[in-house]
Structure 1
Amino acid sequence: MRLLERESSLASLGEYAAEAARGEGRLVLVAGEAGVGKSALVERFQRDLPLARWSWGACDGLFTPRPLGPLFDLADRLGGPLLELCRAGAGREELFRGLLREVGDPHALDAVVVEDVHWADEATLDLLSFLGRRLRGTGLLLIATYRDDAMAPSDPLRVTLGGLASQRSTRRIGLAPLSAEAVRELAAGSGADACALHRLTGGNPFYVTEVVRAGMHAPGSSQIPGSARDAVLARAARLSGPARQVLDVAALTGTRVESRLLEAVTPFPGPAVDELLACGLVVGDGEWLRFRHEIARLAVQEAVPAHRARAVHGRVLTALESLGCDDDARMAFHAEAAGEAAAVLRHAPAAARRAAWLSSHREAAAQFRRALRFADGTADPAGTDATTLAELCEGLADEAALLDQWHEAAEACERALVEWRKAGNRLREGDALRRLSRIMWNMCHGERAPVESAVSLLEPLGPGVELAWAYATYANQRMLRYELDAAEGAALRAQELAERLGATDVLSDALNTRAVCAWTRGGDWEGPMRRALEIALAGRHQDQAGRAYANLAALHNGRRRFAESERYLAEGIAYCDEHDLTSYATCLRSERSTVMERDGRWEESLSISTGILATVNASPSNRLCTVRRIGSVLARRGEPGVWEHLEEAAVLADRTGEPQQIVPVRLTRAEAYWLEGRTGQARREAELAHDVSAGSDPWDRGAVAVWLVRTGSPRPPQGEVPEPYRLELGGEPVAAARAWTELDCRYDAALALSGAGGEPELREALAMFTGLGAFPAARIVRQELRGLGVRSLPAGPRAATREHPSGLTRREREVLALVCAQHTNAEIAAKLFISVKTAGHHVSAILAKLGAPSRGAAAEQAVRLGLAGLEVPVTAGGTRQGPAGRTVAAPAGGAAEEPAGRGGSARTPGPRGGAAGARGGAAEIWGARGAT
């Protein structure tokens, strides 16, 4: 394929290679639609850069991918210590570091290409993230190609790309389809109408080339573009019979196929392979053959009749076995396609376990599902015994739980329980009951959690890991109900048994629960919780590491220590994303949203929360905190949609039966009613919270006590409460406001001042509420001031300001103007006198509101919607920066607007109990299933 209109892309690659050669390693993301020429561009650049050491790996979309497939490809080519690590079955961290050692020499230029990462498994995406963060000081030019034309919002690649984009070493190259002029040049001499050809192919270089080569200019019909399909098959039709048979086998095998495999499967590979290479559909790649383009492989694959395809897969499976193939994922794919149930049940579980070891939990779940399709008779029944079937179900339950797919986890676990009973295995039956108990908790069905039955069944069987886990789970669930004595006793028994048995995963879980109990009582908890995390990380217990990160973040958040919470949130989210722990990653993002709710970043909190509901199939436990928080922010801003979220929150919280879930939801509902002037309903909600709060943590009790007073309830407070609440209850609202302000919770400070009754305090509360955008509370304070006879009050915000198109705040409109002017986050921060981190938060919120995948797309949409010029920020020099970088005069006194103060959504209506009550925070993780 001739390269047209790619000069600038080649120049950029040359520039990035020069930077890598200077020890400033680069990750280059090459994106474009299928057939646009990504591989052709990199191949051409390889010819232009002969002095570099080139290594290639590829992701294969044919079957459930082998985790880290590209890394193993690279190891085959590079050999040495990396290949030895692969053959030894090393863990992912060792493999990652082994690859970095091999290609990270700052004094030598290594070019590593990973193609088609849109098919990458989670472990491979984590590898890209790992390398992307460690390129500084290396001579590595890492090039990753991917399709960007069919990514869903929840595609894991989109999350990875977002993280990589923030790295200083990352560069992007986007390949657009060809212009009409370029199509005309490609089609020169073919007799094709260039304009019609451009319309037919959309300027896609591959389609253009294939249609021209085959002499076909009319679309067909297929899942792939008809013109390309017909072009490929027209070329294949010119092959001899033997060559076409080899081509069919290659297409059914994958994008790349070993020459020796073709020799084992087909009777005439030699001359036939030569013919294939000559026709141009495939190219040689060392000991491998690969299709020049995936569209060609798909077209050939679709043309193979089903009965022939099944037979070919059977021959490939046999050949791979004879060649000693150890890629269980590949073997399982061909076994399923061949209908070989016994082979599926041999290879799919092994592939699942390997995927789980490498933190590719989606692939692990897919392999367990594949095995179960054959084990339960939905495909070709293999007469699977109850024990094997139970183990497969438990494997799926564990992987689905990590992926936040709790309904599937529950179904699989319940089925495992039935099978263990059939097998008469009391030990595994008890362990299944324990596992099911944690799953039911995450589904907000605490009353259906059979942990007591698990303990009763396992205790007579003697000490073992299963009993230790049952004690740990029992302790966890007692802690969630604030039955702290029972929780600590069971956790101590679990800890002692775990230490005796060397079960470090159980030990981490027990220490975690004991730390939470200590937190609730006001004791020393940080040391034990950090030890729980250290044990989990050292033992590679991903489940327990996720739980420990979440609790460290949530417990600091519960004490309103936001900086410490943010630290663990950042570490925890990175860890969970890298290890494909969707449940915990969602939980941690939800906890981050709670921090933002409390410290006044409501727009960002709302953006994260709505994103969780929109892009993640969140479990009931993860939904609970999210819908409560959305309802809280909407109520405080006086926006619609409050009660649909708070009704769902109430149903879920009541279903758990846990005070730490019920109290925050009822207090949020009390506040929402109070803001609407419905004091009677507000009082009723506060009293419902009071009914279950006797054993709650002090912050919950303080929030309940304040809302009882605020709504006029005569009920007395229960127990000690933290200082801000104590001061407010003691009739010292100004001192309480000062205490809240020191904690960076300005909304709580304003609420405290609003109860002072004096004009100065009320005016200050009004200013704080207005600055936060808390318009209903501001309206209440205005009414109180007018009741005091005050007539001179600052005007409230105009409706036009509040009802801005796309819901952008004033600050976001300013940031959008600078985004349209192509300013970086650092430049935006400097112009608006805010931190770079805050600028990044604003940009993220803008992208979410506009539904834009990138800054460039946001700018284009802003222009299209007429938003780009609505607000332009003032620079330090007294000028305003226009959307296209044009400087215009600022109005008199036009200093840059100060950012809105960081206010807090206090625990007063409390985000589900903060440490002990935030589903999406500690609470949801405290009850998360234990590692199994």
Structure 2
Amino acid sequence: METESAGVRLVERESELAELVRYAGQAAGPVGRLVLLSGEAGVGKSALVEAARRQLTTVRWSWSACDGLFIPRPLGPLFDVAGQLGGELGERCEAGADREELFRALLNELGSADVPDVVVVEDLHWADEATLDLLRFLSRRLRDAPVTVIVTYRDDETGGDALRVALGDLVAQPSTRRIRLEPLSEQAVRVLADGSGFAPDDVFRLTAGNPFYVTELLQAETHGVPASARDVVLARIARLTAGARAVLEVAALIGTKVELPLLAALSDAAGLDRLDRLDDLLASGLLVADGIWLRFRHEIARLAIAEAVPAHRRLLIHRRVLDALHTQNCDDEARLAYHAEAAGDAKAVLRYAPAAARRAARLGAHHEAAAQFNRALRFADHAGPTERAGLYEEYADELTLLDRLTEAEDAGNRALSLRREVGDRLGEGAALARLSRIAWSLCRGQDAVTGAYTALAVLEPLGPTVELAGACATLAHQRLLYADYNTAIALARRARQLAERFGATAVLSGALNTEGAAAAGLGQEWTGLMHQALKTALVGRHQDQAARAYANLVGISEGRLRFADAERYLLEGLVYCDEHDATAYSSFLRGEQAHVFERTGRWDEAVAVAERVLNEVGPSAVNRQCALVRIGVIRARRGESGFWHGLDEAAATADEQGEPPYQVAARLARTEAHWLAGETAQARREAESAGALGEACTSAERGAVAVWLRRTGSRHPIRGDIAEPYRQSLAGDAAGAAALWTDLGCPYEAGLALLDSGQEAHSHQAYRIFNDLGATAAAQVARRALRSLGARSIPTGPRAATQAHPLGLTRRQHDVLGLIADGHTNAQIAERLFISAKTVDHHVSAILAKLQAPDRATAGRIARSGFISRAAESL
């Protein structure tokens, strides 16, 4: 089999090619697939896809790529595909539709033809955030669609955290399949080098089996071979004429894909008007024709050529490219901004970079938006102070959404200084409100409150304005966080009135949100206000406010022990935040997800999610708090070590922030950790410090505080309503409280309620619950309680089955895995094992986490490989 690259054979790729063709062909099923094709740079990913295209001619192919040359235009691959498919998608693109419309239009267009669709997205390691969100969107909807999406990316440079997170999300989808290309073996290189005049051993030594290096080395036809691919490429183009080399340099600086009319307009001096010049370039194998485009066969070659262009000539070429794009009425602001910066044209940068940033923000590509604002600010000396202030403010807003809070605060302070410099009191007040919100996210509670009051003091004398509405909403939020609910509601309603007067729907959504949360704090009806806040944000496309609404829907539901509701909002909120690049809120929601998992007995998943938050979160201490507490209490319950550092950090941060809910959560976690260790006096002190804040909390939080105060022997009083499970415990109805906790899906709390009764039978039940959860330390507390009761039958200690199992599965999880391997559904497993379907769901989640399996099918394959029989011997 031959590639298009000068006859070099595609070797050692037969199985991968067959697999790729099979996945692409399944679209005719229709069985939709997302295929992740990975490998190091130059390993032959594009060549493999090209070979698949030549084999599979009964489908409609669409080709796109992510461009690493400049800060990409958001959804660049989607626009590439739109140019090929046309239809509704093309119309929506030309109309400047928002991302939701574009996503839906693409999905509608795919599969609308008489043949299945295969869409190729190359070089995902350069993808913008909106493109990653698009792939998440598609991956969730491909299962029954006649569409295969093939994505190539370099796994030796995965593009940072955003891509790693996206790949994790994509792999978890049942429609996703993975193919990885390895470098060629020494034998394959020997076959390719046969008859070339090169010593095969030298070729393998110089290239390490990388197909690109091998190809370029053999085609360079020179024995003075440098060790780097860059020199190999330059040696190859040295054989071209001077005119062809000049055209190639221009093409390399234009980008991965080059429009023929643009290249022609730029290359008259190099003689491109003569057809043989273009033929020379195509014959070189460095460029290939693709409709009205030329593209570089290998990005490595393009980069090598571009980097070799002398700086002075590079500047001139970029200026010519910018002029030509102007002449051709190019509307790609990101592309124009890149060439403007490379050309040193400050005026053009300040024109195009902010426009590109705002377009990116509307499309939910907030990383790209921040990068474009940063690009504009590199030329800020050429703008007036008011324009500079506006750029810093928009930059700060993007950075805040990305959880890059230290940078956001710096940008916000620069904007504030500029507003004050020009005497802009409205702008000053708005800047102060922005800095207040950033300070809160950094857990500097007093700074946040002071900033909010100062903003209001600046703006109130100026009369009714949008800025005043925003300041009222900001202060309302601050009062909410300190449980000053009545003040929060009054300020939120004032903000609502002003926002409605000026049509400021973002402020309106925020005010509705705060009023709803404050109503919940007072025990009043809140869901209508919160859903109105969410609807207002979604209709107005205010992504930060929509994300905040989801966060509060989750948090309030969880706080009211409505875990099913919390999980439903979590699912919707995480999808929204991930698909809209709302990093800060994604981290917050995952922290809440870890909390729900912990409360409902899914501790492995809770730890996994919490650790992900800690690994990914920026400087936002708010988003670290929940994760630290969840990991701390679970490790304490399991009798593990190393959790105090996290609980210390959580408590210190909560005290600095000064918000009662965070302080209570941190103090109760420390209370439990001391209690589990038998340190009753220390546990009592921590519980009493939480008790001093109990009146500012929800009924569930007050109930938890009250129960821990009694459990540690404290007589500290707690005033206010207490949620029902806790109230029954305090009334001495251990069985009733345990039943309620069980109905809520909270086994650990049920065990604690039973243990509190001081009855032998209940303590035995508690021990079994703790043992099944792997709560070794809590089980030891139950054993001590049984001993103090004089029980005749005292368990000898936690069963060793879980520890002995090769992957740490409990006996029950082992049984569930065996039934998964036999193809049983969750409902069938529940019937076979006489447990609830919800319990089976929890077991399946824990099994997947422990096996690190993306889905139950993978877990089943692991079981069928002989794992079940070997593991059974250890149980």
1:655 to partner: Cα distance: 0.8
For 1:39-58, list aligned pairs within 5 A: 39-58=46-65
Change (3 A) 1:167 1:727: closer
CA gap 1:615/1:695 in 2 versus in 1, 3 angstroms: closer
SS of the counterpart of 1:57? strand
Contact 1:27-1:142 within 8 A present in 2 as well:
yes
* CA shift in 2, pair 1:626/1:829, >3 Å: farther
Task: Give the letter for the 2:26 counterpart.
Answer: E
Q: What residue number does 2:350 align with?
A: 345
CA distance in 2, matches of 1:313, 1:825: 62
CA distance in 2, matches of 1:591, 1:390: 35
> Residues 77-156 of structure 1: matches in 2 within 5 Å?
77-105=84-112, 107-136=114-143, 138-151=145-158, 155-156=161-162
Which structure 2 residues correspond to residues 35-74 of structure 1 after superposition, within 5 A? 35-74=42-81
Q: CA deviation at 1:168?
A: 4.2
Indicate the residue corresponding to 2:209 in structure 1.
203
SS of structure 1 residue aligned to 2:89: helix
Partner amino acid, structure 2, of 1:602: W
Displacement of 1:402 after TM fit?
0.8
Deviation at 1:798, TM superposition (A): 6.3
Aligned pairs for 1:485-524 (under 5 A) are 485-524=486-525
Q: 2:517·2:526 contact (CA, 8 Å) conserved in 1? A: yes
Find out whether 1:171 has 2:171 as its counterpart: no
Taking only the aligned residue pairs, the percentage that are identical comes to: 54
Residues 847 and 855, structure 1, Cα contact 8 Å, conserved in 2: no
Q: How does 1:854-893 map to 2 (within 5 A)?
A: 883-884=865-866
- Distance in 2, Cα, partners of 1:10 & 1:126: 28
Partner residue of 2:461?
Answer: 460
* CA distance in 1 between partners of 2:248 and 2:771 (Å): 70
Q: Pairwise mapping of residues 369-768 of structure 1 onto structure 2 (< 5 A)?
A: 369-375=374-380, 381-382=381-382, 384-449=383-448, 450-617=451-618, 619-768=620-769
2:171 and 2:257 map into 1 onto residues whose CA distance is: 30
Amino acid at match of 2:384: D
- Which residue of structure 2 lines up, in the alignment, with residue 845 of structure 1? 849
Equivalent position SS for 1:694: helix
- 1:731–1:158 CA distance, 2 compared to 1 (3 A): same
SS at match of 2:710: helix
- 1:24-74 deviations in Å (ceiling 9; x for gaps): 443333222222222112222222333433322111111111111112222
CA drift at 1:333: 1.4
Change (3 A) 1:242 1:855: farther
Deviations 1:223-252 (Å, cap 9, x if unpaired)? xxx1x2222111111111111111112112
Shift of 1:705: 1.6
* Other-structure match for 1:923: none
Q: How many residues align?
A: 857
Higher relative contact order (CA 8 A, sep 6+): 1
Alignment check: 8 A CA contact 2:816 2:829 kept:
no
Closer, same or farther in 2 for the Cα pair 1:889/1:573, shift >3 Å?
closer
Residue in structure 2 matched with residue 160 of structure 1 by the alignment: 166
List per-residue Cα deviations over 1:436-488 (Å, max 9, x = no partner): 11111111111001111111221222222221121111111111111111011
Structure 1 pair 292–322 and aligned structure 2 pair: CA distance change class (3 A): same
**For residues 709 and 52 of structure 1, what CA distance do their matches in structure 2 show?**
69
* 514 and 10 in structure 1: CA distance in 2 versus 1, 3 angstrom threshold: same
Superposed CA offset, 1:266-311 (max 9, x none): 3122343332112111112222221110111111122222232223
- 1:595-626 alpha-carbon deviations (Å, 9 max, x no partner): 01111111211111112112332511101111
Instruction: Identify if the C-alpha distance between structure 1 residues 581 and 745 changes in structure 2 by more than 3 Å, giving closer, same or farther.
Output: same
Output one character per residue of 1:132-159: Cα deviation in whole Å (capped at 9) or x when no partner.
333355433332222223326x632333
| Amino acid across the alignment from 1:70 | P
| Cα distance in 2 between the residues matched to 1:815 and 1:200 | 52
Aligned in 2, Cα 1:713/1:134: closer, same or farther, shift over 3 Å?
Answer: closer
The question of whether the paired residues in 2 share the 8 Å contact of 1:705 and 1:718 is answered with: no
TM value normalised by structure 2: 0.92
C-alpha distance in structure 1 between counterparts of 2:717 and 2:148, whole Å: 67
Alignment partners' CA distance in 2, 1:175 and 1:829? 39
CA distance in 2, matches of 1:415, 1:793: 67
CA drift of 1:746 comes to: 2.0
Instruction: Answer whether contact 1:495 1:506 (CA < 8 A) is retained.
Output: yes
Give 1:882 shift: 6.7
On the 8 A contact 2:226/2:232 being kept in 1, the answer is no
Partner of 2:188: 182
Name the counterpart of 2:323.
318
CA 1:167–1:694 in 2, change beyond 3 Å: closer, same or farther?
Answer: closer
Describe the shift of the 1:566–1:713 C-alpha distance in structure 2 as closer, same or farther (beyond 3 A): same
Structure 2 SS opposite 1:67: coil
Contact kept? 2:763, 2:786, Cα under 8 Å: yes
Instruction: Work out the CA distance in 2 between the residues paired with 1:679 and 1:305.
Output: 73
Cross-structure match for 1:903: none
Give the aligned partner of residue 332 of structure 2: 327
Contact residue 815 and residue 828 of structure 1 kept, 8 A: no
Rounded to whole Å, the distance in 2 between the matches of 1:206 and 1:890 is: 48
TM-score, normalised with respect to structure 1: 0.86
Alpha carbons 1:635, 1:675 under 8 Å: kept = yes
Change (3 A) 1:479 1:710: same
Q: Is the 8 A contact 1:22 1:106 kept in 2?
A: no
Describe the SS at the equivalent of 2:545: helix
Q: What's the secondary structure of 1:29's corresponding residue?
A: strand
Return the offset for 1:525.
1.6
SS in 2 for 1:290: strand
- In the other structure, the counterpart of 1:907 is none
Cα distance, 1:416 vs structure 2? 0.8
What's the CA shift for 1:817?
A: 9.1
Q: Which residue of 1 aligns with 2:294?
A: 289
CA deviation profile, 1:149-174 (whole Å, cap 9, x unmatched): 3326x632333333333444433333
Quickly say closer, same or farther: Cα 1:855–1:65, change in 2 above 3 A. farther
Q: Give the match's secondary structure for 2:331.
A: coil
Cα displacement (A) at 1:825: 11
- 1:881 is displaced (CA, Å) by 5.6
Give the Cα–Cα distance (whole angstroms) in 2 for the partners of residues 889 and 748 of structure 1: 31
For 1:438 and 1:752, how far apart are their aligned partners in 2? 40
Looking at structure 2, the residues matched to 573 and 338 of structure 1 have their Cα atoms a distance apart, in angstroms, of 41
Note if 1:770 corresponds to 2:767: no
Contact 1:117 1:144 in 2 (8 A): yes
1:218 Cα deviation (Å)? 7.8
Q: Distance in 1 between matches of 2:600 and 2:58?
A: 54
**Is contact 1:882–1:888 with CA below 8 Å preserved after alignment?**
no
Do the aligned partners of 2:189 and 2:209 also contact (CA within 8 Å) in 1? yes
Distance 1:818 1:33, change over 3 A: farther
SS in structure 1 at match of 2:434: helix
Residues 818 and 883, structure 1, Cα contact 8 Å, conserved in 2:
no
> 1:12/1:799 Cα in 2 relative to 1: closer, same or farther (>3 Å)?
closer
Quick one: distance in 2 between partners of 1:678 and 1:575? 44
Distance in 2 between the 1:501 and 1:241 partners?
Answer: 63
Counterpart residue type for residue 51 of structure 2: R
Cα pair 2:506 2:545 within 8 Å, conserved: yes
Question: What's the CA shift for 1:829?
Answer: 9.7
1:15 to 1:800, Cα distance in 2 relative to 1, 3 A: closer
How far apart, CA to CA, are the structure 1 residues paired with 2:567 and 2:222? Answer: 59
